[in-house]
Structure 1
Amino acid sequence: MENNTKKVIPIFFATDNNYVPFLAVALTSLLDNASNDYFYKIYILTTSLKKEYIEQLKLICRDARPDGVSIDFVSLTEEMDKSSGNFHLRDYYSKETYCRVFIPRVFPQYDKVIYLDCDIVVKGDISEFYNIDIGDNILGAASEEVMMEYDVFGDYVEKALGIPREKYFSAGVLLINAKKYREDDIETKFIDLMNTYTFRVTQDEDYLNVLCYGKVKMVDLGWNKSSFKSDKFDDKNLKLIHYKINWKPWHYDNVYYEEHFWNYAQKTFLYDAILKIKADYTEDLHERDRLAFENLVKMAIEDSNDPNNYCNSQKMKA
């Protein structure tokens, strides 16, 4: 039941059936740590979802906060199908990763929203993230730590995209100024750029970084900390953990911050399913991941050195 006396915080996730178990963990952690002073409107964006998963996710919200949260499932199949966008995919990427692009237009009732990837655990109070003042910027987001820690990817964003590595943000945790996003017509610009130039390395994240560069409020890394150890980060500032690439506790042992994931996984209806996912993740799949990461490095180097990359092509136009 919605409590209209409380300020509403709209939060969006996007998932397919494969990522529902991890979404369940993310949702459980978010609601466990969120302030009672707000009403949380959760939207699950998808193109298709099993009925049993929908019911399980509803139960998580009902059990966590019977009067403080609502959850709605919104199919963006029609939006994706009628879009002229050529949605580039690779590895574990699904079409749902592009759902975030449509949020401001499809939900015009909101001027400010949160978007979260499913492969996260929220340790802080998400209302604190929502209340960050991002001014007239289009987005509030944290630096993409992978670009900071791995020179090959830092070189990529600087040489191929023309963005300083410390200014390249992770698109998995976003505070979106939906009003400004609509005013600047980012959705149309995104589709147009996607249809004229293919970014191979981080795809939708690259497009958003290029389009929003100079209009992003960089927030504390604690709101989007990757699941590997960094001597540059103090764990006392940890508010949100992002399990990405090959640092996923449902695939690997000894992942940094894995205890936080398993703590919340045990509280979900899908704990046994997550354990099975890990048990079934064979050495052959580990090898596939290793080769995929090697290929990602290779693409980053190739695109950095490509005379016709995006950055160089923009310079030639100038």
Structure 2
Amino acid sequence: MDRFSLTPDLSFSRIVYGMWRLGDDTDTSPAHVQAKVEACLAQGITTMDQADIYGGYTAEALLGAALKSAPSLRARIELVTKCDIIAPVGRHAGARVKHYDTSAAHITAAVETSLREMATDRIDLLLIHRPDPLMDAEETGRALDALVASGKVLSVGVSNFRPWDVSLLQSAMHTRLATNQIEISLTEPAPFTNGDLAFLQERKVPVMAWSPLGGGSLFSGSNPPLLAALERIAADYEVDVTAVAVAWLLRHPARIIPVMGTNRLDRIARFHEAMKVVMDRQTWFELYTLAIGKEVP
């Protein structure tokens, strides 16, 4: 598995395992969570993507239980997590309304909770999960810089930010924002033309892609011509059809890092197949054309 450097001190596997569905599995035992991590490691996938809100604020602890059961795993993986979403469930059940909190106090407390839940002494990458309309960039920036200086967080970034949100926060920070994790897939191709990818490429900021398979909607029959093309290419390479959709993202010069989420061990074991697919320019545009439903201008 190829690797990609986000900062001089941090590299990620080219494909990341997303754990947002970890709490939805019928088996959430430490042994089963460990089996998922081991299935990733067997392919060279070392980066695990979390968020405090995943599983109604339960997913971090599920991973933490596995790391307590098998402490040697921690040194073999990179941990990503996110904060700032407060939903009225779990530990925030008393909240009157779902909201965002990018105050220094909340970010600092969230990091302490994530460290405890995941049974680790550091977070490799902390992301602000959603843009906060009430964000005080100076306060948020100072808090993120302080966390990096403390060693509790190795690097910081954002998620779901638009270019102007990234610029605002970065303007108030000494630490370089390491990434923006945004939704990109054949069902969500807008970032290729709305300026999101261009902005990040210009600044040489790596891009992480959540829901790279459109939450499974690619395979629901909502776009039969696109699915047929994916199946044809998959047959040519003798890979799972999902590998073609991921290879389409990997082909882009922004060096997109897909975040793959599933609870099925058989599907996890096949993540690496995307690296086998050679996506030439015309094939990329064939899929793009089918995705947007029209010929390019």
- Decide: shared fold, TM above 0.5: no
TM-score (norm 2): 0.30
TM-score (norm 1): 0.29
Structure showing greater relative contact order (alpha-carbon pairs closer than 8 Å, 6 or more residues apart): 1
